[in-house]
Amino acid sequence: MAQFSREKPVNPLNRELARGIVDACRRAQDEPSVKSIVFTGGVHRSFCAGDDLNEARDLKSLVDVEEFIDRMIALYVAILSVPKPTVAGIDGYAIGAGLEMALCCDWRVGTPTTTALGWELKHGLACPIGAYMLEKMLGRSAMSDIVFGCEAVSTKWAAEHKLFNEMAERKDVVERAISRADVLGAYPEVTFQRTKESVNRSFIAGLKEIAPIAKSIHADGFLSNSAQAHFRRVLRC
C-alpha cells in the first residue's frame, strides 16, 4: 500500500510526494511478491487536495511551467504503467492533481464524504490535462460537469458516472480498497497485464501528445498573473 503522508491531512502534492509515488510504482512493478498496489491518503485523511500551492506559486517562467508539466505527466504515466492492479481508496478531497491521480488507477473506491472537484478554471488555473483525462475516462458530458462546472460532484453522480467504481464508509475505505486490490491481484497475471497495457497505451500516448499544448496553456495562465492572483488569495502573501 502506498499511503500519502504529508503533514497536512489534505495531502497536497509536492515534488517530494510525487517522487515517492513514482518510486513506489517502480518498486511495485519490479517486486514479484507485490500483486497489486493501493493508493490512499489513509483513514480520515484526504486522498489529495491537489498541487501544493506553496510550490506552485514559484512557477514564474516558461521553463518553470514546462518542468512542472513534465513532472506531472511523468507521475501519471508512472501510475498508468504499473502492470499490476492499482486501486485508489479516496476520502476527503480529490482535487485537481489528486483527482487526476485517482483517474490513473484501475479501480476507485469512494466514500460519502469524498469531495471530487476540478475547480481550476474558476480560479484562473488551466485544466487541459484534467479535461483530457476526464473525457477519456468518463466522456465529454461528464468532463464538462467537472471542468466547466467547477463545483464538487455529488457522490451519487460520481458513482453513476463510474468516477467511483464502488463506495465504502469512511472508516472502511482503506480496508475496502485493499480487499478490491486482493481480488484483482488474484487474477492470472499475464492476461491482466497484457489487457491493461493495451487499454492504457492510448491513454499514455494522449498524455504525451497533450504535454506541449498543456505547457503553452499553463504558461499563458501563469504569465498573465491569473494563477498568481489565486495563490495570493489562498496563501495571503
Instruction: Name the one residue in this structure whose C-alpha cell is 511495485.
Output: 28
Q: What's the pLDDT at 237? A: 46
Phi, psi of 222 (to 5 degrees): -70, -45
Low-confidence ranges of the chain (pLDDT < 50): 237
**Number of domains present in the structure of the chain:** 1
Q: At what angle do helices 189-223 and 226-235 cross, to 10 degrees?
A: 100
Any idea what the CATH number is for the domain that residue 34 is in? 3.90.226.10
Q: How far is CA 174 from CA 11, 34, 103, 180, in A?
A: 16, 17, 17, 10
pTM of the complete model: 0.93
- Its domain, for residue 186, covers 2-235
CA angle 127, 133, 136 (to 5 degrees): 135
Tell me the three state secondary structure of residue 127: coil
Listed as own residue / partner, the contacts of 181-190 with beta carbons closer than 8 Å and 24 or more positions apart are 181/36, 181/37, 181/38, 181/85, 181/86, 181/87, 181/107, 182/35, 182/36, 184/36, 184/85, 184/87, 184/106, 184/107, 185/35, 185/36, 185/84, 185/85, 186/35, 187/85, 189/35, 189/84
pLDDT tens-digit profile of 213-231? 999 998 888 777 766 666 6
Burial class (CB in 10 A: 0-12, 13-18, 19+), 199: exposed
Pairing of strands 166-167, 93-95: unpaired
